[in-house]
Chain A
Amino acid sequence: MGIEIRADGLVMTYGDVRAVDGVTFSVAPGEFFGLLGPNGAGKTTTLEMIEGLRQPMAGTVRVGEHEPWKREPELQRRMGVQLQSSSFFERLTAREQLDTFGALYGVAAGRTDEMLEQVGLVDKAGVRTEDLSGGQKQRLSIACALIHDPEIVFLDEPTAALDPQARRNLWDVLRQINESGRTVILTTHHMDEAEALCDRVAIMDSGRILVLDTPAALVRGLDAPVRISLAPGTLSLDAAREIAGDDPIDDTESSLTITTRDPSRILTALAGRDALAGLSVKGASLEDVFLELTGREYRA
């Protein structure tokens, strides 16, 4: 185990569009790395160059000592890829899909049962993929990516179009994959997902990496105020003004909110008055970092 990914100055253009414009980063063995960005930011193209689907027009990418676009079987056996759409053979059952992918990697047939177990699809083994739910399909496609026990796993938006339960369920599967020592590279639109799973994230836009750090460091770096909310009626507006001082107050029918950069002073004062009913304290999230960096305007 232990294979490092190094991308250095990657460039890919489609016509006049510089889809990827000088991307440099590296991923350490065993790391859970997130690639974030709005649609068209260049995440998928970047990922494709690392996977070996595209040769960079400029710059280099190395996975261990290999250049992935040369598609050397030794390297391909060490990488597992789950593509953006669920790429299955038509009209095969879950078990048959795993058997087929297993055969492509020269894996013994026993792995299929192991994988079905790992992603919780044992009782769906005989069901055709067309009849699986969205979450089951995603879990199966991850199982297909893991069938040959790869060291690096690429996941392209694995939780897109899943309901919250299926998403959380898949997170557990992804954590297990990473905890077993594999490097995981993930692209996603969901900032909560990146925050919950990734050791480090890179936020991309217009083909460039804007920031790259741990999610916690990125949020701290934003230096955003904290929002402290109480149930309505817990505190009179006058009392709130007294506590808040210069900090802005927002009093609505559903809650009273103080936005502050000095939460400990406010919270101490509230506790002193025993006015903590319905208390919630919200700091900035990775989503705020993302929107701060990539802008809030809607992009079609």
Chain B
Amino acid sequence: MTAFRALARAMLKGFFRDRMAFFFAVIFPLMFLVLFGGIFTNQGVSKAEIIQVGPVAVLDDIPKEAAAYFKDSLEITTSSDEKDALEQVRKGDADAMITQRGDQLVVRYSRADQVKAATVQGTFQAIVQSANIAATGQPPRFSLTTDQVEDDSLESIQYYTPGLMGWAIASGATFGAATNLVVWRKNGLLRRLRLAPIPTRSVVLARVAVSIAIALVQATIFLGVGIALFGLRLTGSWPMIIPLLVCGTLAFMAIGLLAGAVAKSEEAAVGISNFVVLPMAFLSGSFFPLDGAPGYVTAISKVLPLKHLNDGMLDTMVRGEGPSSALVPMAVLLGFAVVVTAIASRLFRWGD
């Protein structure tokens, strides 16, 4: 027990005194959170800029409520020179030009920005429709109500925090285990520990405990920043992320041990870890959702531990699902850890 404690303390001190490791495990992913949080908090797509040439009756006649909506999505300026207005649309300085010729509403838009092109067409389609209905003098028969399916709070930060946190924890545990193994093997410390009157398991358990502690510190900082700065809201069974993180850490440590067992130098260990963790983060939806991804991508993502950690965290901490939703991801993570650790231990060497 004293051996375990002494080793864990030595490893923890070593980690927190390593500014590079601390930066990449905590600050670097946090920078992404701030960046993503900043980009996506005011998710409103910027307004489409419209140049109105001459009088356009339908625009002047729209009802008040509708006018407020258009104001949010359209920025209308007027001009008398149609040629100049068209040129501006071509250059991309404006998104569309409108003018009215008799009963025809003419919209000229650029396809350069497809989202805005669609917004502009849809909006004016709707304006023309409602003007037509108004012209009949009848009240509209059908009406439309929209509401998103998620909890009202599921803003983008709710999605990005678990994903980026999963990525941070995957990097921390993988890099930590890989470099630790290589450095200790190369500097002879592994062999030195082998000659000390302590069981091998106290060395392994100390490393596991330290990696889990680091993961929990990362999670605390992540959730703290998310809640304090970006209005992150945790739902019902969020404490389940703790056992999820423990299982995830074991899975990523296993990857790190494999990388460390294969790598001949610390640089190689870092390289291999990067080669695994970064693509895994993309394929696990850490940076953007995989909803639109092709089938083979989702198939690959199913064998990646980070995908299951992310899913489990999303379910429990933001989608408001019950604690049992974490059980399957935890089982997958543990299974992954067992298999990869078994492979790593076959390649393990005490010294060079």
**Could you tell me which A residues sit within 8 Å of B by CB distance?**
51-53, 71, 73-74, 76-77, 79, 81, 83-92, 96, 99-101, 103-106, 128
Q: Which of A71, A83, A103 contacts B192 (CB under 8 A)?
A: A83
B106 → A minimal CB distance (Å): 71
- Give the complex CA separation of A87 and B18 in angstroms: 18
B176-200 Cβ-contact flags toward A at 8 Å (1 or 0): 0000000100111101111111100
- Give the complex CA separation of A83 and B187 in angstroms: 9
- B216 within 8 Å of A (CB atoms): no
Pair A92/B195 contact, Cβ less than 8 Å: no
Chain B interface, DSSP helix/strand/loop, else mixed: helix
Residue pairs across A and B with Cβ atoms less than 8 A apart, 14 shown, are: A53-B194, A74-B197, A81-B192, A85-B186, A85-B187, A87-B188, A88-B189, A89-B10, A89-B11, A92-B14, A103-B3, A103-B6, A106-B197, A128-B17
A131 → B minimal CB distance (Å): 12
Chain B residues whose C-beta falls within 8 Å of the C-beta of A89 in the assembled complex: 10-11, 14, 189
The 7 closest A-B pairs by CB, nearest first: A103-B6, A73-B197, A87-B188, A83-B188, A76-B197, A91-B17, A87-B189
- Give the complex CA separation of A76 and B3 in angstroms: 14
- Give the complex CA separation of A51 and B3 in angstroms: 21
B105-147 Cβ-contact flags toward A at 8 Å (1 or 0): 0000000000000000000000000000000000000000000
- B42 within 8 Å of A (CB atoms): no
Chain A residues whose C-beta falls within 8 Å of the C-beta of B5 in the assembled complex: 103
- Give the complex CA separation of A101 and B17 in angstroms: 19
Interface size, chain B (Cβ < 8 Å): 27
Chain A residues whose C-beta falls within 8 Å of the C-beta of B9 in the assembled complex: 100
Chain B residues whose C-beta falls within 8 Å of the C-beta of A79 in the assembled complex: 195
What is the chain B residue whose CB lies nearest that of A103?
Answer: B6
Chain A interface, DSSP helix/strand/loop, else mixed: loop
Q: A83-B188, A88-B189, A103-B2 are in contact. Are A96 and B10 (CB under 8 A)?
A: yes
Q: Which of B10, B13, B187, B196 contacts A105 (CB under 8 A)?
A: B196
Pair B10/A53 contact, Cβ less than 8 Å: no
Q: Which of B5, B6, B192, B195 has the most CB of A within 10 A?
A: B195
Chain B residues whose C-beta falls within 8 Å of the C-beta of A52 in the assembled complex: 195
Chain B residues whose C-beta falls within 8 Å of the C-beta of A77 in the assembled complex: 197
- B351 within 8 Å of A (CB atoms): yes
- Give the complex CA separation of A299 and B287 in angstroms: 56
- Give the complex CA separation of A106 and B198 in angstroms: 10
Pair B13/A104 contact, Cβ less than 8 Å: no
- Give the complex CA separation of A76 and B7 in angstroms: 18
Q: Which of A81, A88, A91 contacts B13 (CB under 8 A)?
A: A91
A28 → B minimal CB distance (Å): 22
Chain A residues whose C-beta falls within 8 Å of the C-beta of B195 in the assembled complex: 51-53, 71, 76, 79, 81
- Give the complex CA separation of A85 and B2 in angstroms: 26
Chain A residues whose C-beta falls within 8 Å of the C-beta of B194 in the assembled complex: 53, 71
A69 → B minimal CB distance (Å): 11
- B282 within 8 Å of A (CB atoms): no
- Give the complex CA separation of A76 and B5 in angstroms: 20
- B350 within 8 Å of A (CB atoms): yes
Q: Which of B187, B191, B197, B351 contacts A88 (CB under 8 A)?
A: B187
- Give the complex CA separation of A88 and B10 in angstroms: 10
Pair B13/A92 contact, Cβ less than 8 Å: yes
Chain B residues whose C-beta falls within 8 Å of the C-beta of A92 in the assembled complex: 10, 13-14
Q: Which of B2, B6, B17, B187 has the most CB of A within 10 A?
A: B6
Q: Which of B10, B11, B193, B198 has the most CB of A within 10 A?
A: B10
- Give the complex CA separation of A104 and B8 in angstroms: 12
What is the chain B residue whose CB lies nearest that of A144?
Answer: B192
Chain B residues whose C-beta falls within 8 Å of the C-beta of A73 in the assembled complex: 197
Pair B189/A91 contact, Cβ less than 8 Å: no
- Give the complex CA separation of A281 and B337 in angstroms: 70
B132 → A minimal CB distance (Å): 75
A101 → B minimal CB distance (Å): 8
What is the chain B residue whose CB lies nearest that of A77?
Answer: B197
- Give the complex CA separation of A20 and B7 in angstroms: 34
What is the chain A residue whose CB lies nearest that of B6?
Answer: A103
What is the chain A residue whose CB lies nearest that of B2?
Answer: A103
B11 → A minimal CB distance (Å): 8
B71 → A minimal CB distance (Å): 59
B20 → A minimal CB distance (Å): 11
Pair A90/B14 contact, Cβ less than 8 Å: yes
Pair B14/A87 contact, Cβ less than 8 Å: no
What is the chain A residue whose CB lies nearest that of B195?
Answer: A81
- Give the complex CA separation of A71 and B193 in angstroms: 11
Chain A residues whose C-beta falls within 8 Å of the C-beta of B6 in the assembled complex: 99-100, 103-104
Chain B residues whose C-beta falls within 8 Å of the C-beta of A86 in the assembled complex: 187-188
- Give the complex CA separation of A85 and B10 in angstroms: 19
Pair A100/B188 contact, Cβ less than 8 Å: no
Pair B188/A104 contact, Cβ less than 8 Å: no
Pair A100/B10 contact, Cβ less than 8 Å: yes
Chain A residues whose C-beta falls within 8 Å of the C-beta of B11 in the assembled complex: 89
Q: A90-B183, A100-B7 are in contact. Are A105 and B188 (CB under 8 A)?
A: no
